[in-house]
Chain A
Amino acid sequence: MTDSQLAWKNLWRNKRRTIITAASIFFAVFFALVMRSFQLGAYDRMFKNIIESYTGYLQIQHRDYFDEPTIDNSFELSQPLIDRIESDPNVNTLVPRLESFALAAAESRTQGVMVLGIDPEGEEKVTDLRSKLVKYKLTPEAIQALKKSTIPSGTKKLLDVFINESYSSEGRLLIDLDIGKEDTATALPVLRKYASFKNRYLDNNETSGAIIGDGLSDYLKAGVGDTIVLVGQGYHGTSAAGKYEVRGIVRLPAPDIDNVIVYLPIAVAQELFAAPDMVTSAVLRLKNNDNENVLQSGESLRKLLNEPLTIRTWHELNALLINQMEADSRSGMIMIGILYLVIAFGVFGTVLMMMAERRREFGMLVSIGMRKIKLAKVVSLEMLLIGFLGLAAGVIASLPFVFYGNVHPIRFTGEMGKMYSDYGFEPIMPTLLPDTYYLWQIVVVLIILLIAILSSIRKIFRINVISALRA
């Protein structure tokens, strides 16, 4: 009989103990995997959202712009530079931005605003700004009309709570008004009829149009068709002033941007700030966005750029968010660590007891001539088998959850869902498909087994045959 056969048979001599020990490992592995998968999945989604809706994966900036974001740290985006960048096989296009501060005034109100000069078409591809245009607004008139209409009566009561609220998606409007799936079909045409909001996106040959944030529009009391005046400081201290007509209103998920943002076509912004052809950053659209390719492109592009230009990766642009995520991730790892610690004690306890229980058996085996090294081998194999049994069961049991959660993420509704979207995150929590975190569980279980094996080997080599037989 080979060692492994012997070990396998030994395992099933005391089925109950084997199963309980394997089950405790299974339990730890399963929970650790599912927990980690949701946590990592949520981060993954959050970063994708923020990168794809704002910062992009790579940006070209003036060296000092990151620390001191003023228009004086802008750079000229010349055609040869664009050609050189676009020659990189992984780069799709460049989307320029010119960002600065100004005072915006409408009839009686003034507010400090962030002016963002954009290439309307390019920006649509990077951040999908067009989809954030306000599509519905519950104005007092709209509410009056809706109250007389055929929408569910529960919804009518809610209307006053959301007076003057704007919506860029039907989904959120339906959630706020508590319109369930069954009523959607009847309520939507009514809402479309009375609460639709008419505005439009910027086009490239616009010379005096602007899009402003919903919060800013409320504060300035400037709606579509109204005029706003921007006054500020241009490039190298020139003075900047211009008059623009509001063409569209966007509702951005982050209130601190929504309250102060003014979008202009980039040519118009360059004229306002007396900075022809200058940009403060250029967002790169890449063909391949996985981490390795992004870093590689970043490195190779950096070589193409001359001082004072540099490449900023999304890691640098979102350093704060990454820091927050790390703190959160660390707390998740501590939880899993505690779980394994407790399980490890359970496993040690079992091993210790097994050794005590089988002292006589071991003594007998040694006395009839089994070499201690062979005995140690058999016992180690037993423990490895128990460990792998639990590990394999845990991994297999976690897979359906992880794969299902990836396709059908947990969706937060109600207050929780609102909190997520107020912070600018999608209210969903998907899982991350199996990745290196699966390997970590194996490593941890192996470490626990290793310690258990070492302690039992030590015991075996210390067996005193005479006293063991008497036990």
Chain B
Amino acid sequence: MIIEIAWKNVWRNKTRSMIVITAVTIGVFAGVFSIAAMNSSIVQRIDAAVNEELSHIQINNKDFRSSSDIQNVIADFPSLIAVMEATPGVINTTGRIVIKGIASTASKSTGVEITGIDVEKEKKMFTLSKKLIPGTGSFFGSETKFNTVFIGEKLAKDLNIIRYTLTQEAFSKLETEGIPSAVILKLGSLGDQKYPTDKKFSNAVENLLTSSEKNKFSLKIKEAAWSYREGSKIILSFLDMNNNQTGAAFRVSGIYRTNNDMFESLSVFVPVNELRELTGMKEGTYHRVIARLDNNDLTDVVTRGLRESLPGLEVLSWKEIQPDLAMLADMMQQIYGIFMAIILAALAFGIVNTMLMAVLERTREIGMLAAIGMNRRKIFSMIMLESIFLSIVGGIMGMLVSGIVIAATAKNGINLVKYSEGMEAFGYTAHLFPTIDVQFFITTTILIVLTGILSSIYPARKALKLNPVDAIRGE
């Protein structure tokens, strides 16, 4: 009965109730959605770390990380693999050879980490093979008598094997993409000139265009001019098992693109047999074993278990290899909490104000109810229920709107192109696909109801303090 009365009371003054409900809806939506967007960049970073860069667990020779000497191999590889495969939760394992070296072309050279991989296994375990840029070849797909290497886009740019050239093809591509012919005409003078860096090309383009044209088209122009000759070669040099400098020319089998510039410029992949031949490492010797788990939540448990059963080796989870990332994820959880608390506190002000007004406006009515025998507890719960209804309706609407908007944007994402350069340098993507835990939804809903209850206490007490006689006499 009280519930029904309270519900009807909410709708007696529609404008007032709608204002509060809208405030709650907007507050909840804005809070949840912006948290989802922030959260996505962390989730995507962790996904990339686990799926492309580190895997869940890495096992090294105890001395390998401190000295990365080629001699520091895992002593008994087959029995290690046997142990891993018997561990529940581990779905895939493979061995890697990891060597520090220098990659160079005729004009540039830079330090890299060369990873020797079992191509077939890695293809199954990692998504890196899917990060191949279309038109740059394949993930070790084609037969060739040369050594082959899979490198990152940033490295390819650093080594000048990716250039920017506006060829005839590029011009016709721009035309089909709907770039006005006036703009294309202006770019004519750049035709077939080769620019070794992104910057130089951008500068040349920007000199020719007006600023509005630049804003609209420069991305597309850059994309069209991006050029790479398939099958380019780079030289990799490193030390072999006898500590002699060695090296060879490698044909680039494909180029991958991730959101992590540091990883792209540092990590190159080579089929393990080619590295064995060049370094003289024996068959069946590896520096590192990586393992993929059933799901990420198992990481800590499995790492602890493996550490106990493999005392002679260094067992590390991705959280230990990149502690800053794990910590950032924890820290962000706290920030979300604080942020939501501030929004809810702001909402509480609105609810208190409205309910107080509702009580004062209805002084006479409440006095009447008390006079005809409605007890104090019922009056108290009636006012409280009214404000809970306001917050629940607002909260549900807010959740619904955020759910819909998150689902809508999750498909194509939100692309903050302007900030991509800065974020990708640290391995974070600027292309956000908002996501949020179900748990977060539930916690937030509970908090909203709590806010409603807390902010109704003061107005409800106010209603209790009314003296029925005075209240009826008033106005």
Interface positions of A (Cβ within 8 A of B): 16-17, 20-21, 23-24, 27-28, 31, 67-68, 101, 103, 108-112, 164, 218-219, 256, 260, 319-327, 330-331, 334-335, 338-339, 341-343, 345-346, 348-350, 352-353, 356-357, 415-416, 419, 422-423
Is B1 part of the contact surface with A, judged by Cβ < 8 Å? no
Q: Which residues of A contact B345 (CB under 8 A)?
A: 27
Q: Could you show 16 A-B contacts with beta carbons less than 8 Å apart? A: A21-B353, A28-B346, A67-B197, A101-B109, A218-B66, A219-B67, A319-B421, A323-B421, A323-B422, A327-B430, A339-B342, A341-B30, A349-B19, A349-B20, A415-B323, A419-B327
Q: How far is the CA of A67 from the CA of B419 in the complex (A)?
A: 20
Is B439 part of the contact surface with A, judged by Cβ < 8 Å? no
Q: How far is the CA of A16 from the CA of B426 in the complex (A)?
A: 51
In the complex, residue of chain A having the shortest beta-carbon distance to the beta carbon of B33: A338
Q: Which residues of A contact B111 (CB under 8 A)?
A: 111-112, 260
Judging by beta carbons under 8 Å apart, are B346 and A339 in contact?
yes
Q: Which residues of B contact A320 (CB under 8 A)?
A: 421-422, 425
Q: Which parts of B329-388 form the interface with A (CB within 8 Å)?
A: 331, 339, 342-343, 345-347, 349-350, 352-354, 356-357, 361
Q: How far is the CA of A300 from the CA of B38 in the complex (A)?
A: 43
Q: Which residues of A contact B15 (CB under 8 A)?
A: 352, 356
Judging by beta carbons under 8 Å apart, are B350 and A346 in contact?
yes
B: contact size bracket: 35 or more
Q: Which residues of B contact A219 (CB under 8 A)?
A: 67-68
Judging by beta carbons under 8 Å apart, are A324 and B352 in contact?
no
Q: Which of B21-29, B77-85, B116-124, B406-414 contacts A (4 or more CB under 8 A)?
A: B21-29
Judging by beta carbons under 8 Å apart, are B324 and A342 in contact?
no
Interface of B: prevailing SS: helix
Q: How far is the CA of A67 from the CA of B416 in the complex (A)?
A: 24
Judging by beta carbons under 8 Å apart, are A67 and B200 in contact?
yes
Judging by beta carbons under 8 Å apart, are B349 and A338 in contact?
no
Q: Which residues of A contact B31 (CB under 8 A)?
A: 338
Judging by beta carbons under 8 Å apart, are B239 and A335 in contact?
no
In the complex, residue of chain A having the shortest beta-carbon distance to the beta carbon of B17: A349
Partner of A323, one of B38, B203, B343, B419: B419
Judging by beta carbons under 8 Å apart, are B38 and A331 in contact?
yes
Q: Which residues of A contact B425 (CB under 8 A)?
A: 320, 324
Judging by beta carbons under 8 Å apart, are B423 and A349 in contact?
no
Q: Which residues of B contact A352 (CB under 8 A)?
A: 15-16, 19
Q: Which residues of B contact A24 (CB under 8 A)?
A: 346, 349-350, 353
In the complex, residue of chain B having the shortest beta-carbon distance to the beta carbon of A164: B66
Q: Mark B239-275, 1 if CB is under 8 A from A, else 0.
A: 1000101000000000000000010000000000000
Judging by beta carbons under 8 Å apart, are A324 and B426 in contact?
yes
Judging by beta carbons under 8 Å apart, are A327 and B30 in contact?
no
Judging by beta carbons under 8 Å apart, are B23 and A349 in contact?
yes
Partner of B26, one of A326, A342, A349: A342
Q: How far is the CA of A338 from the CA of B197 in the complex (A)?
A: 41
Judging by beta carbons under 8 Å apart, are B419 and A338 in contact?
no
Judging by beta carbons under 8 Å apart, are B243 and A353 in contact?
no
Partner of A353, one of B199, B343, B357: B357
Partner of A345, one of B109, B262, B350, B422: B350
Q: Given A346-B350, A415-B327, A17 and B357 touching (CB < 8 A)?
A: yes
Partner of A326, one of B239, B331, B419: B419
Is B34 part of the contact surface with A, judged by Cβ < 8 Å? yes
Q: Which residues of B contact A416 (CB under 8 A)?
A: 327, 331
Judging by beta carbons under 8 Å apart, are A353 and B350 in contact?
no
Is B110 part of the contact surface with A, judged by Cβ < 8 Å? yes
Judging by beta carbons under 8 Å apart, are A349 and B422 in contact?
no
Q: Which residues of A contact B26 (CB under 8 A)?
A: 341-342, 345
Q: Which residues of A contact B102 (CB under 8 A)?
A: 103, 112
Q: Which residues of A contact B199 (CB under 8 A)?
A: 67
Q: Which residues of A contact B214 (CB under 8 A)?
A: none
Q: Mark B310-340, 1 if CB is under 8 A from A, else 0.
A: 0000000000000110011001000000010
